[in-house]
Structure 1
């Protein structure tokens, strides 16, 4: 297939020469060339003077139309190319691959490891490839051949996070090897999690919060009453309970969160009946807690970037301050709020402004105890700050 030469506007070209990997639609001078092209074609990128920048692929994802893959003009994008990048990435995770206390983590993190639009997660011998555009998915055969050539695995599953609506593509997720028996029990810092690789886009635990769960378990939970909002399958609650919290309360709107949270407590030997698991809209729970004069020593806020229910739409960028204000009102004096967001449209400075505004509204004083971004296995590149999307701040409420 013949490469298509795409001209990049000078300002973005300068950025890309310094390592910026996203091919932005607004930066294309001759974008009309892509109107008749299929996703997956190789793009030869040049600046407005015709100087070579790099080669990438055409694949629509969020604000981009593809990702740069190499700055070497004649490098082939083939099985050997993927093998080299996988080997380099896996070598960087060698300590995790050899760990007995953690058997679930990210092995390959998209543009941070050199291939935007593709991630590979590891679950105790099983590999899960997640594809974020039709463009990168056209390299499926080369990627799986590369994977087979450098690692032995129990089985491989895949998740397709693309469609005309930008949603998950429902399909049989199994690719090769042996099918797993689910739930598959994996470890994270000695905590056990039940996961399902064959049940939609989310497997049961968000791997990017590993260090935050560790801190809650080790330093913040003992003897505390804990509220875990947007609790999903209760992973933070499990970490807190095993960290000897006095009691945990898990709140999530999804009906399935009840059974999933019971399962996570059970596989860790925690009596789920001694914990509270509530299926309710989080904002409604705040109202309920105020009415019943409930308050907590530790409140965990980890909402989705965007969520819509029948009665409410939540956007982290627009509504996080309101959410935090509600949390402050039911946090005990000297209690701690773990404020977290995975929204990539704003940075840590803006997140701090949300925190400041929420406490100002509540006429309260606070102290920042510690902060976290993505853990080391979620590698990012300084040239693409949007890739380091996770922001977690531990906040102590003083009055």
Structure 2
């Protein structure tokens, strides 16, 4: 269906199916998933604010029509727009304002929103870049971390530190968050502050994850749980990272800083990587590190992601 305005009636039916959402204590979730719109668009909600992601080019009038339809169906105060063409990753630095306009497409300005996930307050910035502060498809994985937190946790590719925050709230004695962006680590510290948790700079490690894993290994720092949540593709320092080829190397480095009988939580948001291939990548990485591991659990996506298979979130137990 090329005209998004034709979805006005369908949106009301989709929202009706979301009556169980937000779940108790949760005000940020996927209200409309791409599986319900033939891949054309998705809508995330944070409090009274919607974030509309478009995966097909439309006219300004069509974008406006869809935003108004989403606001009406969800009773929302504002709608922000994210344009996500296939080449969005390459345009992210050169066309930021086009891909992620700083002003709402419809309604009142909401540059910051405090939303809740399972009762945990989080700072969401709908007017930020394409990523607004939380990936809602990993909500069950964050809940697992909070419920199963060991003493020492390493959270890599931390972004705004949702997994680290979950571990800290779960009672971990030590949590280290690693990311290549000072901006998102600072954002993570704000999330800690929202939850009345101490956030010393020493727990927020700025820099390349691969370099930090090597550094931590040399120090002899070991963790009972290591969270791996890398991008599917990235360029940095002349190097190219492709999760479909390189995840095994990452798993090997992570295993080297995982305590005996510790656990790895491996996540991959890449629909093109089959579960069987992902299992081979991680198993191969563990073997490269001289560790034996067993897949303990495949965590689900939330019910707000019907028919979605893009995210793998698996818990591995190391047997040595």
Name the TM-score, length of structure 1 as normaliser.
0.74
SS at match of 2:91: coil
**Which residue in 2 is equivalent to 1:19?**
none
Over 3 Å counting, the alpha-carbon distance change for 1:202 and 1:173 in structure 2 is farther
**Which residue in 2 is equivalent to 1:103?**
27
Over 3 Å counting, the alpha-carbon distance change for 1:137 and 1:303 in structure 2 is farther
- Give the gaps of 5 or more residues in structure 2: none
2:127 to 178, 198, 206: 198
What is the Cα deviation at residue 115 of structure 1? 3.5
SS at match of 1:278: strand
- Distance in structure 2 (CA, Å) of the matches to 1:106 and 1:198: 17
Structure with more contact order per residue of length (Cα contacts < 8 Å, sep ≥ 6): 2
Mapped pair 1:266 → 2:193: yes
- Distance in structure 2 (CA, Å) of the matches to 1:158 and 1:242: 32
Over 3 Å counting, the alpha-carbon distance change for 1:103 and 1:275 in structure 2 is farther
SS at match of 1:185: strand
What is the Cα deviation at residue 91 of structure 1? 1.6
**Which residue in 2 is equivalent to 1:217?**
146
What is the Cα deviation at residue 151 of structure 1? 3.4
- Distance in structure 1 (CA, Å) of the matches to 2:74 and 2:118: 24
Mapped pair 1:122 → 2:45: yes
**Which residue in 1 is equivalent to 2:172?**
245
- Distance in structure 2 (CA, Å) of the matches to 1:310 and 1:279: 15
- Give the gaps of 5 or more residues in structure 1: 1-55, 58-76, 381-386
- Distance in structure 1 (CA, Å) of the matches to 2:51 and 2:65: 16
CA contact under 8 A between 2:50 and 2:71: conserved in structure 1? no
Q: How many residues align?
A: 313
Q: Report matched runs for 1:335-350 at 5 Å.
A: 335-350=262-277
Q: Which runs of 4+ in 1 moved over 4 A?
A: 135-138, 163-166
SS at match of 2:12: helix
**Which residue in 2 is equivalent to 1:208?**
137
SS at match of 1:215: helix
Q: Which one has the largest radius of gyration? A: 1
- Distance in structure 2 (CA, Å) of the matches to 1:347 and 1:266: 38
CA contact under 8 A between 1:247 and 1:274: conserved in structure 2? no
Mapped pair 1:180 → 2:110: yes
Mapped pair 1:88 → 2:13: yes
Mapped pair 1:288 → 2:215: yes
Over 3 Å counting, the alpha-carbon distance change for 1:303 and 1:128 in structure 2 is same
**Which residue in 1 is equivalent to 2:69?**
146
What is the Cα deviation at residue 375 of structure 1? 1.9
Name the TM-score, length of structure 2 as normaliser.
0.91
The 10-residue stretch of structure 1 (152-161 or 284-293) with the greater mean CA deviation from structure 2: 152-161
What is the Cα deviation at residue 389 of structure 1? 0.8
What is the Cα deviation at residue 146 of structure 1? 2.4
- Distance in structure 2 (CA, Å) of the matches to 1:149 and 1:237: 36
Mapped pair 1:371 → 2:292: no
Mapped pair 1:388 → 2:312: no
Over 3 Å counting, the alpha-carbon distance change for 1:257 and 1:397 in structure 2 is same
SS at match of 1:289: helix
- Distance in structure 1 (CA, Å) of the matches to 2:226 and 2:110: 35
CA contact under 8 A between 1:221 and 1:245: conserved in structure 2? yes
RMSD of aligned Cα (Å): 2.0
CA contact under 8 A between 2:229 and 2:266: conserved in structure 1? yes
CA contact under 8 A between 1:127 and 1:153: conserved in structure 2? yes
- Distance in structure 2 (CA, Å) of the matches to 1:136 and 1:334: 55
